[in-house]
Structure 1
Amino acid sequence: MIRKGWDIKLRLLHWAIALTATFQQLSSMYMSNPGTQFLFPYHRIVGAVAAIVLLLFWLYSYAIYDLKMLFPWGRDARREVLRESFALFRGRLPRTGRGIGLSGFVHGLGLLALSGCACTGMIMFAMIPPGHVGPPSDPMAFTRYTLQHKFFGEMLWIYWCGHTVFALVHQLTGGHVLGSIFGLGRKRN
């Protein structure tokens, strides 16, 4: 399928998602310890920023017709995802860049996991007023959202690790993916 370059808006949105989601994932590892509860307000604020950036990403993806790349529903697109999946098992990496295929589909799954975190996080954000130290008014509902938030967070960890590993493998095999998405270094033709 057609592979296109990354425009500056997508690069900026990717930077913002990468930074906020990474902070969220790393800070969540330490928030359960009593001595690290100071991270919770930062986690809430950065989470709200991440949710806004994610909403902007969804809107921009919709505006530039990228949703078909992230969610390949058509028959030809599904075949491309399967073809690239089987090629991966034979040791061939999918092509780099934006386009319909395995890479775009996996990005779509990652965005769904991040969206689940953002939605449940924003609901919990609304359930606990700023500066409030007691339990929320509906502790059972809060517990349900917390468990859902944790589930999506675990899915996001799987995506985050896999995404990072495959980006590094592509980079090490000459794919120049880090430079193309993050705008680092020279562009290759």
Structure 2
Amino acid sequence: MALAQLKARSWVQKISGVLRRVVTIDDSSTRPVHSWTTLNKTLHISFASLIILQLLSSDLMHSPWKPGRVVSDFSAFFFYFHLIAGCLTLFVLVCYFLLNLSEAARAHLYPWGRQGRADIMADLRQIFCQRKMQPAHRCGGLAGLVHGLGFLAAVGTALTGASWLLLRQMGFAPDLVHFVKECHEFMTTFVWIYVIGHVCLAVVHFLVEDDSHANG
């Protein structure tokens, strides 16, 4: 076990070294740190976990509500799981949105104002011209923009899913119900892209920053 841990640590250090030849952390950054309250962290972990479960369950389910379709108990279980977890996800997302209505939180998640756009452009120039990234948990900028867009994509996916369920149960026109379902599946694509990209960049950031601290 100790030998395996030693080898794993060695591989991590090698990967970190390769990454640091491509990009480094800007240790001179003066941008304020985005603070996370315990409730904020809890909600963030909750909806992140629920979203991942939703994405995975969507590939395992088949709707038993479609006329003439026969589905297995396995597929039906994940269909109902997807419905229930989806409603819970929407509730957690709404709570997170209401909790982050302060000026500081909005400036981080939606940096669309003049200063926010300037920070985004500064981050892009820093990445492509200087090969440097902002340290973790800095306010606004490119990281804040990506977080905000990912959050909005998740909200859009949850809202269209809940709307599909509501419209179907209320007996609205099948064409409208199908259109909302297609919108839900279209939004899911952006959530997949965000989750995969976010995880990959988080790992890169962690490895580069960890290696920087180890060498510093």
- How far 1:32 moved relative to its partner? 4.5
Query: Are 1:87 and 2:126 matched, yes or no?
Result: yes
- How far 1:22 moved relative to its partner? 0.6
Instruction: Name the counterpart of 1:156.
Output: 191
Structure 2 residues without counterparts, runs of 5 or longer = 1-30, 64-70, 212-216
- How far 1:175 moved relative to its partner? 5.5
1:158 aligned partner, one-letter code: I
1:51 aligned partner, one-letter code: L
Instruction: Name the counterpart of 2:173.
Output: 138
CA separation of 1:98/1:61 partners in 2, compared to 1, >3 Å: closer, same or farther?
Answer: farther
- How far 1:98 moved relative to its partner? 4.3
Query: Are 1:120 and 2:172 matched, yes or no?
Result: no
- How far 1:69 moved relative to its partner? 1.1
- How far 1:146 moved relative to its partner? 0.8
- Spell out structure 1 runs of 4+ moving beyond 6 A: none
Query: How many residues are aligned here?
Result: 171
Aligned partner of residue 155 in structure 2, secondary structure: helix
- How far 1:140 moved relative to its partner? 0.7
Instruction: Name the counterpart of 1:3.
Output: 33
- How far 1:64 moved relative to its partner? 6.2
Instruction: Name the counterpart of 1:26.
Output: 56
Aligned partner of residue 121 in structure 1, secondary structure: helix
- The 8 Å contact of residues 77 and 100 in structure 1, kept in 2 or not, is answered as yes
Which is worse superposed, 51-60 or 89-98? 89-98
The CA RMSD over aligned residues, in Å, is 2.2
- The 8 Å contact of residues 4 and 97 in structure 1, kept in 2 or not, is answered as yes
Aligned partner of residue 173 in structure 1, secondary structure: helix
Instruction: Name the counterpart of 1:78.
Output: 117
Instruction: Name the counterpart of 2:136.
Output: 96
More helix per residue: 2
Structure 1 residues without counterparts, runs of 5 or longer = 130-135, 177-189
From the CA coordinates, give the structure whose radius of gyration is larger.
2
Aligned partner of residue 99 in structure 1, secondary structure: coil
Taking only the aligned residue pairs, the percentage that are identical comes to 30
- The 8 Å contact of residues 31 and 37 in structure 1, kept in 2 or not, is answered as yes
2:203 aligned partner, one-letter code: L
Instruction: Name the counterpart of 1:106.
Output: 146
Instruction: Name the counterpart of 1:180.
Output: none
TM-score, structure 2 length as denominator?
0.72
Deviations, residues 161-189 of structure 1 (Å, cap 9, x unaligned): 1111111111112259xxxxxxxxxxxxx
Q: Distance in 2 between matches of 1:32 and 1:94?
A: 43
